Amino acid sequence: MGEKSKQDGLTLSDTELIEALKNYGIKRRTLMKLLGVGAVASTVGGTATASSAQAARIDEVYGAPYSADENVPRGLVDHTVVVTINEGGTYDGFPVDPAAHEMGGGEMTATETATTETATTESDETSTDTTTETATATETASTETATDTETATDTETATPESGDELPEFIFDPVGLAVNPNEVVEFRVGFGLHTVTSFHPKFSEPPFFVLPERVPTEYGFTSPPVVDGDAWLYRFTEPGVYDLLCLPHLELGMVMRIVVPDGDEVPEDDYGPLEIPNAGAVLAAPELTPDNIVSEGEVPWAGLSL
């Protein structure tokens, strides 16, 4: 069994807790449409909490969790991020349905269009060798077929991107500038979530493989947290930190924290993130390190999505 966590209040080993979080995330894929949130919340609330002896102690891997009925020590928190579900929605067509991107779903429409164009071309070539009357009939049929195909393609494309059935799973603010050694409180408003760094050890193939997008050599994560719970983390090293919620990663639940090194703003060397919705959020122009440091924080409603 792996080494026990540095937090006295946690009874799981590092390996056990990581595996529990990973499994928990996949099982909660059914939460994409908010099914069963209330039921699971009652079973995990307060399962990993900080004791009074740990008041100012924040683990570099597991942070410091507080259940809804515990008080966070005064003066410990420098910034607060709300972790919640925005059922009303701020952006039309966001998030898109991740199912449309699974199993190559994002390329199906293009393939179908190419197939249709090939079939139409072959039909046109064949019609050249026929009489004018046959060619006219063929062209008419081809036109009707093409019209039907285009209509069907438009419908298929619009349906998963409508976003009507999917709420927004958000960190707010979604961009935050933090000085070295400052503490951020992640407070849950609604739902069940994690606050997890982009690190390969939290990957869950074949659903997603996480790149390393934090400046630390280790990945860090909260336990599952629910309504009213809080999780504290101290950001010690300068750099760009991209964070996510494991159950809702593909729905775009990510954020960025920038820790400058004095007057020097760290660069974003990570490149595009090819995960549905999450990549769109982190690619927003408002989440460049320069803009985050300049503004101090970027609210969810301030993105260009």
| pLDDT confidence band for 276 (50 / 70 / 90) | confident
Percentage of residues in the chain with pLDDT exceeding 70? 61
Q: What is the average per-residue pLDDT within 49-56?
A: 49
Both 183 and 272 in a single domain?
yes
Q: Which residue has the tokens 């159950």?
A: 247
Choose the final residue of a domain: 161, 178, 208: 161
78 lies in a domain? yes
What's the average model confidence in pLDDT over 79-89?
Answer: 95
Average pLDDT over residues 217-236: 97
Same domain, 296 and 202: yes
Q: Mind listing the pLDDT tens digit for each residue in 107-128? A: 333 333 333 444 444 444 444 4
The verdict on 74 and 105 lying in the same domain is: no
Does residue 181 sit in the same domain as residue 86?
Answer: yes
| Residue 4 within any structural domain of the chain | no
* Residue 129 sits in the same domain as residue 194: no
Name the pLDDT band for 34 (thresholds 50, 70, 90).
very low
Q: Which residue has the tokens 């300068």?
A: 238
Does residue 172 lie within any of the structural domains? yes
Question: What's the whole-number average pLDDT of the chain?
Answer: 75
The answer to whether the CB of 292 falls within 8 A of the CB of 258 is yes
Distance CA 296, CA 177 (A): 5
Residue 287 contacts residue 174 (beta carbons within 8 Å) = yes
- Rounded Cα distance, 287 and 303, in Å: 8
Which of 114, 143, 161 represents a domain boundary (last residue)?
Answer: 161
Both 179 and 251 in one domain: the answer is: yes
Return the CATH number at 269.
Answer: 2.60.40.420
Contact of 234 with 56, CB cutoff 8 Å: no
Identify the CA nearest to 198 among candidates 276, 261, 264, 278. 278
| 181 or 11: which leads in pLDDT | 181
Distance CA 12, CA 33 (A): 30
CA angle centred on 35, ends 30 and 38, rounded to 5°: 120
**262 pLDDT exceeds 70?**
yes
- Which of these three, 161, 182, 211, is where a domain ends? 161
85 in the same domain as 50: yes
Q: Is position 6 within any domain?
A: no
What number of CA atoms fall less than 13 Å from residue 33's CA on the CB side?
A: 6
* pLDDT at site 208: 84
The two beta strands, 254-259 and 239-244, are antiparallel
Question: How many domains, the chain?
Answer: 2
Considering the domain architecture, whether residues 58 and 146 belong to the same structural domain is answered as: no
Query: Are residues 157 and 224 both part of a single domain?
Result: no
Q: Domain limits at 67?
A: 14-93+165-302
- pLDDT for 206 equals 86
- pLDDT tier, 207 (very low <50, low <70, confident <90, very high otherwise): confident
Residues 192 and 229 in one domain: yes
Q: Is residue 48 part of a domain?
A: yes
- The verdict on residue 5 lying in a domain is no
**102 CA to centre of own chain:** 15
**End-to-end alpha carbon distance in the chain:** 44
* Residue 2 amino acid letter: G
Which residues neighbour 116 within 8 Å (Cβ) at sequence distance 6 or greater? 145, 146, 149
> Is 2 a domain residue?
no
Asked whether residue 7 is domain-assigned, the answer is no
131 and 264 share one domain: no
Query: Smallest Cα–Cα separation from 47: which of 105, 7, 107?
Result: 7
Q: Which of helix, strand or coil describes residue 198? A: coil
The answer to whether residues 259 and 190 belong to one domain is: yes
Q: Residue 153 pLDDT > 60, yes or no?
A: no
Q: Where are the alpha helices (DSSP H) in the chain?
A: 14-27, 37-44, 105-128, 132-161, 278-282, 289-295
